[in-house]
Amino acid sequence: MRKTFLLLVSFFLLVWMTTINSSAEDKYEIAIFAGGCFWCMESDFEKNDGIKEVVSGYIGGSTKNPNYKNYGKSGHLEAVQIFYDPSVISYTELLDIFWVKIDPLDKNGQFCDRGHEYSTAIFYLTSQQKKLAENSKNMLDNSGILKKPVETPIKKAGVFYPAEDFHQNYYKKNPLKYKYYRYRCGRDKQLREIWGKKKVLDNSVKISAKYRIPDLRQLEEKLTPLQFDVTQNDATEPPFNNKYWDNKREGIYVDIVSGEPLFSSTDKYKSGTGWPSFTKPIAGASLITKEDNNWFSVRTELRSKYADSHLGHLFNDGPKPGGFRYCINSAALRFVPKNNLEKEGYPNYLNLFEN
């Protein structure tokens, strides 16, 4: 009887430990970056809070199980696989750190390491990572920080192959050799020349931009369930039972996700459909159109440029002379009243309401 009891206790203890370990592992997500020497990238990222582990390895080539002797010949790049806790550090913050640790203008290697195997790349694992990476790269290009366009490509991740044990935690196991290599390679000196001393010391480029996209988890906290479902899952809200279908106030409508200006009240009209309708986008807005074959018909879907939010659809039954009806979900929009435009960072649109 006692033996059976001990066996049962051992069994439930094992199940409990397995559940605890599984829950702990579930909170970590993975990011993959190539930034030249993986010893340096591993060292640079492991210093940050929220990062559990950084693994050096190879990715992007044509052969399986590459090693340090042949990975370059088969097209692989040196890269790092980062296990991080998104509740502590976001993917967007990882991107900010990544940029300031590389030379994004060099497409033929990094610093003293030359050749394709030492070139840079962002390898995305999800559509959300792809969206955030493209947004970050676009903001960097438009920020004026760099004198030329960013050369770092954004690619879909294939199989990541961990490097040999010798290369893992090299900066810890061989600190003197590592510091000597890094110094002779001129990595830190050139990083300061590219980014300026302050950004390097801050460990982040911290791109200043209005239209930064939150991570998926941050979006779930920021948006209501309906707003999330509309913008991220292409849902449609009910007509005549939404926030702005009958809004007559003066102001502009911006993307609920990124804040990018989309429409003006000066172009809003009563369409009778029960959704906010506009004759045209606001000046400077770049909406993305896609063919939508759902609901047994072919329609033109509208999405925002920076956040890739689903907005609504475009129809050709609007008022003349243009004849367009931009039918938009209120849940995809945030209204900024005319009197708040300057305070909220949209002073350029005040002239829309001048008599």
Q: Tell me how far apart the alpha carbons of residues 82 and 89 are, in angstroms, rounded to a whole number.
A: 12
CB 33 within 8 A of CB 125: no
- The continuous run of DSSP H or E covering 140 comes out as helix 127-143
Among candidates 183, 77, 187, which has minimal Cα distance to 123?
Answer: 77
Query: Of 40, 112, 185, 327, which residue is the catalytic one?
Result: 327
Neighbour tally for 131: CB within 10 Å: 17
Phi, psi of 106 (to 5 degrees): -100, 115
Partners of 228 in beta bridges: none
Strands 325-328 and 277-278: antiparallel
Q: Tell me how far apart the alpha carbons of residues 306 and 66 are, in angstroms, rounded to a whole number.
A: 37
Q: Tell me how far apart the alpha carbons of residues 20 and 85 are, in angstroms, rounded to a whole number.
A: 16
- Helices 91-100 and 127-143: crossing angle, nearest 10°? 40
Scored b (16 or more CB within 10 A) or e, 144-154 reads: ebbeeebebeb
* Active-site annotation holds for 40: no
Residue 208: is it exposed, middle or buried by C-beta count within 10 angstroms (0-12/13-18/19+)?
Answer: exposed
* Active-site annotation holds for 37: yes
Q: Which two structure tokens, joined as six digits, stand for 20?
A: 């605890």
Q: Tell me how far apart the alpha carbons of residues 174 and 167 are, in angstroms, rounded to a whole number.
A: 10
Report, in angstroms and rounded to the nearest whole number, the Rg of the chain calculated over CA atoms: 25
Query: Of 37, 40, 112, 185, which residue is the catalytic one?
Result: 37
- Which residues are catalytic, by number? 37, 327
